[in-house]
Structure 1
Amino acid sequence: MTSPKTKTLRLHYPVTVEDREVSEVTITRPKVRDLKAMDAALDGIRDKLDQGIVMAATLTGLPPEVIEELDAEDFTKLSEEVAGFFPQAKAHGTGAPSLPKPPTG
């Protein structure tokens, strides 16, 4: 079974940027060229949130400024969809999925 090449996400909280309303975003399944573009755009960026913004912008074709205007709930959903295009990490040597880190707090 193959994964779809794109996924459209309807925003719960549409945003207006430069007189343009954005009510949904289309996420494109990444190709190697997208990964290269992300890698170049992420050069020197250490902040995880900024990394997520760059990744979302690259795969949606939207400028980072639009991504930054999204409601936190919509950005979280978008980030989850983006992450879904990438294979899950495996634990070294066992072939078993790696365990999630325990919550801090």
Structure 2
Amino acid sequence: MVCVDCGKMASKFRCLDCALQPVYCCTCCCQTHRRLHTHQVQYWKGHYFHTAGLWETGLVLNLGHNGSPCPNFAEFKEQENDRQDASFEAAEVAGPAVPTSPVGQTWAVPAHIPIDLDI
């Protein structure tokens, strides 16, 4: 299969929510869905498409800092990796890592559930 964006072969992700269910390579799927993070994607297993998560394309949603990674985030990420729940799989979400911030941790978004930051 060929990626609809870059024309690269071995494209294995398709989006069920985009018009005509296009097939993307991993990089283009991630880039295209940076602002479409609620879309459902599937991964080609050789004989059939299997449900996948956008996190499998490398998608990370950065909260705060206008969508850019928080400059203080790296030191907190390692601590939060131990607390990830397998049922949260749509994408990795990175919140501000400022210690005084109420959102000073990594947030995992449940698949297809809107984000509510009023904690």
TM-score norm. by structure 2 comes to 0.29
- Report which structure shows greater RCO (CA 8 Å, sep ≥6): 1
Please identify which structure carries the higher helix content.
1
TM-score norm. by structure 1 comes to 0.31
